[in-house]
Amino acid sequence: MSGNSLGEPPRAPTKSLLRLLFVVSGVVAFVSGYLGLAAHLGPDASPLDLVYYDLQLFVLGAPPLDDGGPFPPMLDLARFLAPAVTGYAVAEACRLLFATELRRLRDRNARGHVIVCGDGLVADTLTRRLQAAGHRVVTVRSDDVTAPAGSGGVARAARDPNVLRGAGIARARAVYACTDDSATNTAIGLAAARHGRSPLAVYAQVADPELCLALQARYLGLARQPGARLDFFNIDDLAARKLLAEEPLAVVDGRPPRVVILGGTAFGRAVLVELARRWRVRDPHGARLIPLALVDEAATEVAAELSHRYPFLSRVCRIEPLDGGLTEALRQLPRLGFPLPPDRVFICYDDEERALKTALTAEQLWHGGPGSMVVRLDRLANLREAFGSGYDSGILDDLSGTLRLYGVVHAACDPALIGDDLVERLARVIHECYVVARRRHGEAPGSSPSLVPWEELPESLRRANREQAKDIGRKLRELGCALSPRVGPGDEHALEEPEIERLAIMEHQRWVAERAATGWRYAPNRDDARRLHPAMQDWDALRDDMRERNHEAVRELPVILADAGFRIVRVGRA
């Protein structure tokens, strides 16, 4: 464990100078001691005796010096300089020894720090980003959290409370589990959530998007208990969300943009879903579908899986799966209504060399506009520095602004982005579904404080959506149901009218309790400034139109969960 890892400042020049002086002084002491002893003992002394007596000078003793001086000047220099060198070496060894122990003690007793577990690209990048933001970071390396191969003790070691206590989990602000093994990350996350306490936030990286969804669904369905908050995150999903937030799709010549995605990888799938989700808010009526070509060896299978997992895709995109490679796809695209070049291209291959080669050789995809071609990179992302406008700024050019090299890990390792946990994302989906529904009823964007993008929503309304999202697990447990990722075939539970009524009452009671806690009271007419609302009363006394709003919120629940990739399944009796 260490409080200083990647991102630490360069070693101080003073320390380097002292170490250089130490080496030079040692050499000078040895040479002068040898020459001084040779002059003092005369020609009869053997070279081996001289070396032996010379080395003894470094430990404050040599027989030729026992009878006292006078001594040759070289020997006088050596008998003082050699012990000084030894003293410095001892002091430096003690400093290093105690510095390690002091650092461990400081880590254990630290407050408000961040713990990063792992030593791969994600952990190192996240550590640098946190340190650059001014956070104190305690790193826990793989050797501290895993057991030898074949010992069966990886998860057991990861759950070791001594490791977590040594990192100061009792007073930490957040824990990030970022090893290269998702199972180890999950074990670390569960252990940290169990041994930590509020307001500790624990985030575990899961490489498989489907497993990440399954773990998120399972955790949301658990009964809320006091203690640390746990969430699971996927790098590709986070990077896609950030990419489309920074560079959303735009209308081109009055029509939806034509999009080509090369590679049905985890990042390619995440990009497809995220761009569709954002376009749906822009065009809630689904009047203009996005023409989207997915190029992959298994494009048809990938498109079917995504359409099943996220039902809204078919209402937003016209997906054309093209099985095979890029060469065949370039011949088919014009016949499918994709004149070249397309408006946006996302090259999402996991093989970074293949992705870069495709970007630099597929000239038919160039000239779609500034930043229109995005290339997914990780370890080669540093090549971005070689791309620039003009020959003076880099070895390569950016194809007149068309090409953008996108470092997925760097983009995803944003502490604020990782902090948007499942509850936050569900709250966002709840709000998006509300905006889409209101706009379908003819309400214009911005006509009320709630009909704005999530980023512009007042914090009070964001908090209300978060509370509604947090309560989903409790409602489903009341019916004997649970969340499951929409992966593969399965029986989805359809809410029946008695269940809708039951959950609507629960939602109203939750809403009343939430509002009452912030000072809202009943009044026949609504007055937000005075915190008065006609719905602040028991269900039996509620007006029919207000009851129906709760019914609609419950009926929308399966749709909201489907948009996030989940479905409701029956697991027991209510």
Residues 15-35 pLDDT 10s:
677 778 878 888 888 888 888
Q: Of 513, 517, 512, 495, which Cα lies nearest the Cα of 546?
A: 512
Q: Among 36-40, 170-174, 192-196, 384-388, which stretch is predicted with the lowest mean pLDDT?
A: 384-388
Identify the CATH assignment for 253-415 out of 3.40.50.300, 3.30.420.10, 3.40.50.720, 3.30.230.10: 3.40.50.720
**Structure confidence at residue 375 (pLDDT):** 92
Helix (H) or strand (E) run with residue 452 in it? none
**Structure confidence at residue 9 (pLDDT):** 38
**Beta pairing partners, 262:** 295, 347
First-last CA distance in the chain: 47
Question: HEC profile for 325-359?
Answer: CHHHHHHHCHHHCCCCCCCEEEECCCCHHHHHHHH
**Structure confidence at residue 6 (pLDDT):** 31
Residue, of 80 and 259, whose pLDDT is higher = 259
Residue, of 174 and 82, whose pLDDT is higher = 174
Asked whether the predicted pLDDT for residue 498 surpasses 90, the reply is yes
Asked whether the predicted pLDDT for residue 548 surpasses 80, the reply is yes
Q: What is the mean pLDDT of residues 118-147?
A: 82
Q: Of 550, 524, 528, which Cα lies nearest the Cα of 537?
A: 524
Structure-token match 């704005």, residue found: 452
Asked whether the predicted pLDDT for residue 413 surpasses 80, the reply is yes
**Structure confidence at residue 272 (pLDDT):** 96
Helix (H) or strand (E) run with residue 223 in it? none
Domains 114-233 and 253-415 share a fold: yes
CB 355, CB 376: distance < 8 Å:
yes
Which class for 223: exposed (0-12), middle (13-18), buried (19 or more C-beta within 10 A)? exposed
Asked whether the predicted pLDDT for residue 67 surpasses 50, the reply is yes
Reported as a single tens digit per residue, the pLDDT across 314-372 is 889 999 999 988 888 888 888 888 888 888 999 999 999 999 888 888 888 877 667 78
Q: What is the mean pLDDT of residues 424-444?
A: 80
> Per residue in 456-477, is it b (16+ CB within 10 Å) or e — as a string?
ebeeebbebbbebbbbbbebbb
Asked whether the predicted pLDDT for residue 536 surpasses 90, the reply is yes
Distance CA 335, CA 320 (A): 11
Confidence of residue 573 (pLDDT cuts 50, 70, 90): low
Q: What is the mean pLDDT of residues 119-129?
A: 90
Distance CA 275, CA 533 (A): 38
Reported as a single tens digit per residue, the pLDDT across 390-411 is 444 444 445 556 788 899 999 9
Task: Give how far Cα 91 sits from Cα of 23, 77, 262, 384, Å.
Answer: 15, 21, 60, 46
Reported as a single tens digit per residue, the pLDDT across 559-571 is 888 888 888 988 8
Q: Among 310-324, 366-380, 451-465, which stretch is predicted with the lowest mean pLDDT?
A: 366-380
Nearby residues of 343 by Cβ (< 8 Å), 6 or more positions away? 252, 257, 258, 259, 368, 369, 372
Whole-number average pLDDT of the chain? 81
**Structure confidence at residue 391 (pLDDT):** 42
Q: What is the mean pLDDT of residues 236-254?
A: 90
Residues recorded for the chain: 574
Asked whether the predicted pLDDT for residue 269 surpasses 90, the reply is yes
In percent, the amount of the chain with pLDDT more than 70 equals 85
Q: What is the mean pLDDT of residues 118-142?
A: 88
* The Cα angle at residue 31 between residues 30 and 34, in degrees rounded to 5: 85
Q: What is the mean pLDDT of residues 99-114?
A: 62
Q: Among 149-153, 249-253, 457-461, which stretch is predicted with the lowest mean pLDDT?
A: 149-153
Confidence of residue 225 (pLDDT cuts 50, 70, 90): low
Q: What is the mean pLDDT of residues 519-539?
A: 91
**Structure confidence at residue 303 (pLDDT):** 94
Spans of all domains in the chain: 13-108, 114-233, 253-415, 471-570
Asked whether the predicted pLDDT for residue 263 surpasses 90, the reply is yes
Q: What is the mean pLDDT of residues 95-102?
A: 64
Identify the CATH assignment for 114-233 out of 3.10.580.10, 3.40.50.720, 3.40.50.12780, 3.30.365.10: 3.40.50.720
Q: Of 289, 290, 351, which Cα lies nearest the Cα of 326?
A: 351
